[in-house]
Structure 1
Amino acid sequence: MLQIDLWKRVAIWLTIAAGLLLALPNGFYTRVEAHNDANTQIELGITNAQVEADASLWPSFLPSGLVNLGLDLRGGAHLLAEVKVEDVYAARMTATWPEVVDVLRSERATFGTIRLQDSAPDELVVRIGEEAGVPRALELVRGLARPVVSLTGAGASDIDVRAEGNNIIVTLSEAERLATDERTMQQSLEIIRRRIDEVGTREPTIQRQGAQRILVQVPGVGSAQEVKDIIGTTAQLTFQPVVGRTGSADADAGSSANEIIPSLDEEGVFYILERTPVVTGEELVDAQPAFDQNGRPAVNFRFNPTGARKFGDYTAENIGSPFAIVLDDEVISAPTIQSHIPGGSGIITGNFSVEESTSLAVLLRAGALPAELTFLEERTIGPELGQDSIDAGRIACLVAFAAVLFFMFLSYGLFGLFANVALIINVGLIFGLLSLIGATLTLPGIAGIVLTIGMAVDANVLIFERIREELKTAKGPARAIELGYEKALSAILDANITTFITAVILFAMGSGPVRGFAITLGLGILTSVFTAIFVTRLLVVIWFERRRPKTIEV
């Protein structure tokens, strides 16, 4: 008997209603987008008349999820950057110097003088006065080696130590370089992602390409330079002891352990600082824009427990001494330590505007890039080009849609109309699911939807042709319809499961546009099977129950 239980009918109609309701905001894209942006600003504490007006553009009780438009549809910036991992090697060698000099000073009588020599950035050269002490120096410095923290470098040490005459030369081992490269790339990816997320950009594409390159695609921004300004700033913060001040950048720093850094606020003033910082920005856990006691913009900061302990110990031991706060190789402030600062919190003051203090807080909160980025490629895709792509995709969808509707009506008459209604519901469900998961729609994604429109009727064609065959065996219309759906089910599932597996493989193995195509294709297969097996059958059953025809023509 041709029938569908009441609970199944209710479930089908509720599923359709939920899917179409989720897709509804995409029909009012500009209005809903302004509403969502306004709500984001309100959550950040930014309110004014315009923000409140935008927030009221869309009812709060309706869904407000949108299908995000990709770079090729919305316009935006495309950047390809290379990470200079060599910078990390140099930083590691600089950080190793205090450990080396401390361990050698423990037996200074054996080594005589201990001096840091000029060397390549990725190596540390220490000269000792007594050549007879070289073997003992090698033994002590090698004792500083630690195991490499990586799966591929298990059992290896992080440094190689060798001697050339009176010089002890320390370099990173090959296993440690590989592990450092991997950590540097992962850290760079995460920091770039956090910086872009801080400014509220929708659905950026940030992924690794090759060994040392990162691809960044940010839809909706006006130019590639905007993105470079966000991610290109290293925001490397250090707190370094002050040795002295000078009026020339070429002045003798007095020791290779010192460096000369210009002042940001005082023109023509340079500070001589110890190279090894007391605390770095990597030990910051929070930074927020604020105002100092004079009402000038500033930035409050807070260290993690390790940084707090080092910061507190240094301030306790150096009361009355100046202490430089260095940001990106410029001294932004050099206050005198007035008292012990426990707790690991403080304030950065300088000649900031409110915008600059806010931007600095964002950069510090996101963390410092571990190495410099070199931009190898940058492109700005204008919104006009994106709109052209949207228009072309819309035309393609409408042409495919109209052709399929016309074909189904000519081929199957009234049953073709049922299939057409299901097809319209199918497209709505696709956009509802895309909105629900926050997917990004690209040109290949539109191609996936067009392909889905063509494939969506395949299941109905199988069912209707099977019903035709059953009618030829002189069975009644009710029995023919029931057998048509039952016997076509296995073929429908086989065809769609194999295509869905292909979509899953494309998503897992592909990237960027390929994934966009795979997402829309996979979701389209799910909705197509649902509409073909359940929706068209429900429509046919409702029609049959009302008309009770003695014969039917498919």
Structure 2
Amino acid sequence: MLHIETWKRVLIWGLVVLGLLLALPNAFYSRVETYNDAVAANGGDDTGVSGWPSFLPSGLVNLGLDLRGGAHLLAEVRVTDVYETRMQGLWPEIRNLLRNEREKIGTIRLLTTTDGTLKVRIGNADGMPEAMRLVRTLAQPVSSLTAAGTDDIVVTSAGDTLVVGLSDPEKEAMDDRTVRQSLEIIRRRIDEVGTREPTIQRQGTDRILIEVPGVGSADELKSIIGTTAQLTFQPVVSRTSDGSTPPGPGEEVLPASDEPGTFYVLETVPVVSGEQLTDAQPTFDQNGRPAVSFRFNPSGARKFGDYTAQNIGNPFAIVLDNEVISAPVIQSHIAGGSGIITGSFSVEESTNLAVLLRAGALPAGLDFLEERTIGPELGADSIHAGQIACLIAGVAVLVFMFASYGLFGFFANVALMINVGLIFGLLSMIGATLTLPGIAGIVLTIGMAVDANVLVFERIREELKSAKGPARAMELGYDRALSAIVDANITTFIIAVILFLLGSGPVKGFAVTLGIGILTSVFTAIWVTRLLIVLWFERARPKTIEV
């Protein structure tokens, strides 16, 4: 006989109610989204925030780029940028080592290079072996499992010139670290702005895909992530109006950002850099002009304090992305590791700069290979088309099931509508992003959702032909169709998992909705439809049934 224990009935209806409650906010999307934004602006506190009952769930299915509109960028990381920076950072250590052995090596002079190596001319060519031995003591093992046992630098010579470069394994390891770090910093910068559900993925060895819904244009997105925000504090050698003057070894010429025609000759090795910043906030200077306050970590604070104590009366430059934004004269010892950056900022520029500095500097520049702006009108058209597709598919399935199976088809239709609600409930609960391919996954699920019911109903028909009673026929129909239902859905679910793991972007969106749809359709077909039939049978007690 058909029988479902009371606790199972309570559990089934409880899951249905919970799923539909989680899906409910999506029926009032704009209203709930405004409410959520107000709560977020209030620091997560919903006290005094109106527009949606606080006791109801407020999670929404996030709309993807193709539904909401936004910006799409494909960026290539200039991984070779970090080679030169690494070599410049190594120069002070090499210089100190060689100076200590000046009697054997003679004078040393740093040569200008553009190939990512460090070249040092020594006065005594006979001392080259000793110079190479000293520099090799600075080598460190490559931090990579595939290059264990190899050093990070290669030391060679060419006549009286010592050449120091990065080894190939170290370059590969640095390339990987650079892209990973760029990926994380881009994610932090976008999260700082508060954008909903961005897609930030690595593609290949040195490319990053960035899709951010709700951003007005690709240019706006580039202004957030395209700036490297390399902040350094460098000693000033001199000030000039001729930017073509060649700098000396260990020096560089950079323009002033707010003084056209003015250039500064700076030492290339900074006193401290933005990597040692722990915080940056927009503020105003003593004259009420927009500025940015900053604070260093203990190491940066110590270096900054020592330098200002030893260079009172000398200027030092605040450099952002190869432009001198300020070059104040050190008036006194600056202890505590905090200060303020002033310049020709607007309020918006100072806020953006603080965001960039807080998120960290990109280790290398980005080249944007592809950029695309998707307007909200196109997203609205996609949503409308998706709604029409779901409506047509749903109505066709509902009509077919009712025409084929009568009252049993009606029960399957009720379960199908519950199934769609549960899909949106689960998508809301996990914070998934719905894309146009995701809508295709839902449409496909609507068609697949009734497969299990068709198998059961056809099996019940076969059992009725064997002159079994209605209750026994229905019980056997469910029991004997179960293995076919499970097998079919498990194989499809495995395909959805593979698509999710190996696919990207739109393919993942399709896989998520397909996988969730399989879980909810099996639940509604095996349990919800069965429970509806049992409740009807217990009340009507028919002698015969028509399937």
* Alignment TM class, shorter chain as reference: over 0.9
Give the alignment's TM-score, normalised by structure 2. 0.96
Take 2:521 and 2:244, find their aligned partners in 1: how far apart are those partners?
73
Q: Does 1:490 align with 2:444?
A: no
Cα pair 2:197 2:433 within 8 Å, conserved: yes
Alignment partner of 1:75 out of 54, 60, 69: 69
Alignment of 1:293-304 (within 5 A): 293-304=286-297
Asked if the contact 1:401–1:453 (Cα under 8 Å) also holds between the matched residues in 2, the reply is: yes
Distance 2:260 2:396 in 1: 72
| CA distance, structure 2, for counterparts of residue 218 and residue 261 of structure 1 | 34
State whether residues 408 and 420 of structure 1, in contact with CA within 8 Å, keep that contact through their aligned partners in structure 2.
yes
What letter matches 2:120 in structure 1? V
1:366 and 2:366 correspond: no
User: How far apart are 1:455 and its partner, in Å?
Assistant: 0.8
Q: After superposition, what is the alpha-carbon deviation per residue over 1:211-240, rounded to whole angstroms, capped at 9, x for unaligned?
A: 221111112222111111111111110011
Q: Is 1:219 matched with 2:234?
A: no
What pairs with 1:131-210 in structure 2 (closer than 5 Å)?
131-210=125-204
Q: Give the Cα separation in 1 of the matches to 2:286 and 2:380.
A: 50
How do 1:451-530 and structure 2 match up within 5 A?
451-530=444-523
Which structure 2 residues correspond to residues 343-422 of structure 1 after superposition, within 5 A? 343-422=336-415
SS at match of 1:152: helix
Indicate the residue corresponding to 2:526 in structure 1.
533
- Please give the alpha-carbon distance, in whole angstroms, between the structure 2 residues aligned to 1:289 and 1:347: 10
Distance in 2 (CA, whole Å) between partners of 1:305 and 1:485 is 69
The alignment covers a number of residue pairs equal to 547
> Whole-Å Cα distance in 1 between the matches of residues 128 and 12 of structure 2?
82
How much does 1:471 deviate?
A: 1.8
On the 8 A contact 2:419/2:520 being kept in 1, the answer is yes
The answer to whether the Cα contact below 8 Å between 1:141 and 1:161 also exists between their aligned partners in 2 is yes
- Letter aligned with residue 324 of structure 2: V
Q: Is the 8 A contact 1:504 1:518 kept in 2?
A: yes
**Shift in Å, 1:395:** 1.4
TM superposition shift of 1:252: 5.1
| Residues 76 and 383 in structure 1, CA contact (< 8 A), matched pair in contact too | yes
Matched to 1:111, the amino acid is I
| TM-score normalised per structure 1 | 0.95
Residues 266-296 of structure 1, C-alpha deviations (whole Å, 9 max, x = no match): 3433222111001111111211112334433
CA distance in 2, matches of 1:452, 1:91: 53
Deviation of residue 173 (structure 1)?
Answer: 0.4
CA RMSD, Structure 1 to Structure 2 (Å): 1.9
Q: Which residue of 2 aligns with 1:233?
A: 227
1:305 CA drift (Å) = 2.8
3-state SS of paired residue (1:394): helix
Deviation readout 1:496-551 (Å, 9 max, x if unpaired)? 11111111111111111111111011000100111011101111111111111111
CA distance in 2, matches of 1:528, 1:379: 37
| Partner Cα distance (1:70, 1:369) in 2 | 26
- Is the contact made by 2:236 and 2:317 (CA closer than 8 Å) also made in structure 1? yes
Task: State the secondary structure of the residue aligned to 1:436.
Answer: helix
- Find out whether 1:290 has 2:289 as its counterpart: no
Matched, 1:65 2:59: yes
- Counterparts of 1:227-306 in structure 2, within 5 Å, are 227-251=221-245, 253=247, 255-306=248-299
Deviates more, 1:528-537 or 1:290-299: 290-299
TM-superposition CA deviations, 1:86-127 (whole Å, max 9, x none): 111111111111111111001111122110112224111100
Tell me, yes or no, if the aligned pair for 2:224 and 2:352 is still in contact at 8 Å: no
Tell me whether 152-161 or 426-435 shows the greater mean CA deviation: 152-161
Could you tell me how far apart the structure 2 residues matched to 1:287 and 1:2 are? 68
- Specify the alignment match of 1:49 in structure 2: none
Paired amino acid for 1:258: E
SS of corresponding position for 2:421: helix
CA distance in 2, matches of 1:302, 1:148: 32
The whole-number CA distance in structure 2 between the counterparts of 1:192 and 1:404 is 45
2:426 to 427, 433, 437: 433
The amino acid across from 2:12 in the alignment is I
Of stretches 461-470 and 340-349 in structure 1, the one that deviates more from structure 2 is: 340-349
Q: Is the 8 A contact 1:36 1:55 kept in 2?
A: no
Deviation at 1:55, TM superposition (A): 5.0
- CA distance in structure 2 between the aligned counterparts of 1:452 and 1:106, rounded to whole angstroms: 75
- Asked whether the 8 Å contact 2:255–2:264 carries over to 1, the reply is yes
| Whole-angstrom CA distance in 2 between matches of 1:341 and 1:94 | 26
1:25 maps to 2:15: no
Q: Which letter does structure 1 place at the counterpart of 2:306?
A: D
Name the CA distance, whole Å, in 1 between partners of 2:537 and 2:470.
9
> Does structure 1 residue 103 correspond to structure 2 residue 97?
yes
- Contact kept? 2:277, 2:297, Cα under 8 Å: yes
Unaligned runs of 5+ residues in structure 2 are none
Q: 5+ residue gaps in structure 1?
A: 46-51
State, as a whole percentage, how many aligned pairs show the same letter: 73
User: 2:294, 2:339 within 8 Å by CA — same for their partners in 1?
Assistant: yes
For 2:2, the equivalent position in structure 1 comes to 2
> 1:36 is matched with which residue?
36
Match of 1:118 in 2: 112
Residue 48 of structure 1 aligns with which residue? none
